[in-house]
Chain A
Amino acid sequence: MIRVELKAWTASFRFPTFQSGYQPTLPVPPPSTIQGILSAAKGEPVYLSELPYVGYVFKSDGRGVDLEKIYALGKVETDIIKREFHYNVELYLYLPDCWEEHFRRPHYQLLLGRSSDVATVEEIKRIQLDEKEAPLGGTVAPINLGLPGMVHSLIVEYDYSSVPRRAKLVKPFIVLPFPRTGAEKRRQTTKALYDPELDIGVYLHRWGE
């Protein structure tokens, strides 16, 4: 397995249906954002349900709110919206070895949300993770895992064979922010693969099964 570390100044992950007036960001990227990143790196649509596994861990230094002027499509009209964003972010992707070449030379730019949220590849590393009791966080987990966290329905992957793209797989998830304190770690602990460098558990999603 490889671990790809991405870094960016900003990131924003819109709640699927909140787009009027104020756009809060999800605490971590939804799976569809991961699909977008993998597709950009490979240069063609990638489907998470066709991968043997994929895991991710997201960390940020905090959140802020930006005022954004938007231009209505096809009209001479503007609007101001408030958009929440993460700053100083890191995203760790846990992928099969074959993904190394795609992240060494990504085909398109890698984005953590919007086109302004450009990310760079900081490190690609081969790692082996062992299973143990570990805190999960910075990721989404299946709702039946029983960990407490914000519950929300999220799109897992889009079908890119048509324009506009279409949602292909939608599921409810527990959204687990990266734990900062001992109490948060304890609350989010379960049996998982453990990454000792980040001191975090990694949930490997296998949507194909």
Chain B
Amino acid sequence: MKEIEKVKRSEEYSPPFVWTGHPFTDAGLVALLLLSGKGKPEELTEKDVENAVEFASKLYARKEWSSGYIHAMMLPNSGILMANPSMSKKRTPEEIKKNLLALLSEEEDPNAPVCEICGRKHSRQKPVYRSDFPLVGTGGVPNYFPSGRDGANICSHCLFLAQMMPLAAYRLSRVLIIHAYPYELMLEFHREAINDVKKSELASVARDFKRPENFLFKKLGEIGRKLEAGKLSGASITLYYFVNNNQGQEIDVIYIPNPILRFVALASQHDSAGWARIVSMGWNRGCAKRLAKKQEEIEKSCENDVYHRLLDGESVLHYFIDPQSRRANSSWRLLSFYCSEVLGLDENALEFVKRVADRIVETVEKLPDNKLSRRIRELERAEKLYQFEGFFIRIEKDRQELGIPGALMGFDDFARILTSYGEDLNVSWKTVKNLLLFRIYEKLHDRLMEASPEGAEEEEVEEEFEEGEE
């Protein structure tokens, strides 16, 4: 009997809240779940929702939340959360709680259109403007609402979730929502915000990070360390960084490509020191110099070219090597993952370049220190394709002079290394150059550092002159 009831209940049961795919309502749902210690919307009980509303109402009634955060950044003049300055005298936790719970008991009008966010319920009869749902538009300029009237078609449940969003959001100079799929990942990303709110009763300031992408990469590294690699295979993350007040409304939508997620997670798990070295090379120099005395401030405030390039789909391969100290910044494994998964370099091509690099190493390690240093500098300084070609020709000559059997490479390989990777912006001959340098630094770092750079510079000038005469 109980079983039948159970089945019947499960067939009829429609949870009050579902993941919608909209970042703001999903963030509200994250707040509800984390406050209730639940993982799925269908596990939420009425009591959970009531407790969360009570918790939120107490906070929202405080000035720090009401005028300093909700009105100033997210829901200006909100009537539901009583953030409108004219309501300050009447604003109490009880009144806010009443408003929030009233949303959940609002009757649906079957003649109203369906909600444009969840599609499950009918939109509320009262118009929804940006004072109640961020960025949705105002009644003052109704141009973008259907037929220019009545606000957005949003149901009272989605509206309720948007009112819970401030709890889960991060407060930087704008508001940050990290919308992630699978949704369990979104819970992970916003757990810190809820914990901060519970501890300090203030909105989370994301550890004082000033830049959303810096905070995201920091968190991604931390979360990535705990996650199994497979968990991120189909994962998606989009940052919504917005402000919605009476002075202005802005939103940046920053999509994080999946290979970047997996790359950063892998780096954090298996080569965190290497990843830290790569990141450290990308800080804006002026900013980093200014904040040199406050090292921890650099990662919070400065722009990082590595992050920007990763998000813009540009190559960061040159950050895997440090030509100043002639060192490979990471392990070959991390480099290989980056090349194949992010740049899309064929694994066979990568192995081929590695083999060529190893033959170069086999040759140059037999050279005296100063000549070795000079040869590698030729490769480091190759900015034009002919300079890159010249490097191989010189290595070939070195092989002959040293009596090393066999050629560095055949004609086909030579043509392949120079031309096959030329079409794709991300996989050009410069990619090959950086890969070669990576391998050479990996193998010969100590000797290269011992070699005298001054001596190498002088000899280099002489040899260039000689070659020019030929």
Contacts and interface: CB of A to CB of B under 8 A. Distances in A.
B137 A170 contact: no
Interface in A48-76: 70-75
Nearest to B122: A166
A79 B144 CA distance: 13
Nearest to A20: B249
Given A18-B135, A21-B135, A183-B342, A150 B144 contact: no
Central interface residue in B21, B146, B424, by most chain A CB within 10 Å: B21
B148 A169 contact: no
A147 interface: yes
B344 A16 contact: no
B410 interface: no
B236 A16 contact: no
Contacts of B352: none
Contacts of A152: 21-23
A173 B249 contact: no
Given A17-B135, A70-B141, A164-B149, A151 B258 contact: no
A20 B244 contact: yes
Contacts of A20: 130, 135-138, 244, 249
A196 interface: no
B414 interface: no
Contact of A187 (B149, B152, B258): B258
A152 B179 CA distance: 9
B153 A166 contact: yes
Contacts of A71: 143
Interface in B227-244: 233-236, 238, 244
A171 B114 CA distance: 12
A167 interface: yes
B93 interface: no
Contacts of A169: 119
Nearest to B234: A146
Interface residues of A, number: 50
Given A151-B238, A166-B113, A70 B153 contact: no
B79 interface: no
Contacts of B424: 181-182
Interface in A136-169: 143, 146-155, 159, 163-169
Contacts of A163: 147
A191 to B, nearest CB: 15
Given A17-B136, A72-B141, A170 B149 contact: no
Interface string B398-430: 000000000000000000000000001011000
A184 interface: yes
B20 interface: yes
Given A17-B117, A17-B136, A182-B344, A153 B21 contact: yes
Nearest to B342: A183
Interface string A80-103: 000000000000000000000000
Contact of A77 (B113, B114, B140, B341): B140
Contact of A184 (B138, B140, B344): B344
A98 B287 CA distance: 62
Interface residues of B, number: 60
B296 to A, nearest CB: 32
Given A151-B21, A170-B114, A21 B344 contact: no
A151 B244 CA distance: 22
A22 B250 contact: yes
Nearest to B23: A152
A174 B133 CA distance: 23
B282 interface: no
Contacts of A153: 20-22, 117-119
Contacts of B136: 17-20
B468 interface: no
B19 interface: yes
Contact of B343 (A19, A70, A147, A183): A183
Contacts of B19: 172
Nearest to B233: A148
A126 B255 CA distance: 36
Contacts of B144: 14, 19
Nearest to B152: A17
A151 B259 contact: no
Nearest to A26: B253
Nearest to A188: B258
A24 interface: yes
A148 B235 contact: yes
B127 interface: no
Interface string B303-322: 00000000001000000000
Interface of B: 19-24, 113-119, 130, 133, 135-138, 140-150, 152-154, 179, 181, 233-236, 238, 244, 248-253, 255, 257-259, 313, 341-344, 346, 424, 426-427
7 contacts: A16-B22, A73-B143, A74-B148, A148-B236, A159-B113, A181-B313, A183-B259
Report the 7 A-B pairs with minimum CB-CB distance, sorted nearest first.
Answer: A170-B119, A172-B21, A183-B344, A21-B249, A164-B147, A166-B113, A182-B344
Given A17-B154, A18-B251, A153-B20, 14 more contacts: A16-B116, A19-B135, A19-B137, A20-B244, A21-B249, A24-B251, A73-B141, A148-B235, A150-B253, A151-B21, A153-B22, A166-B146, A174-B236, A184-B344
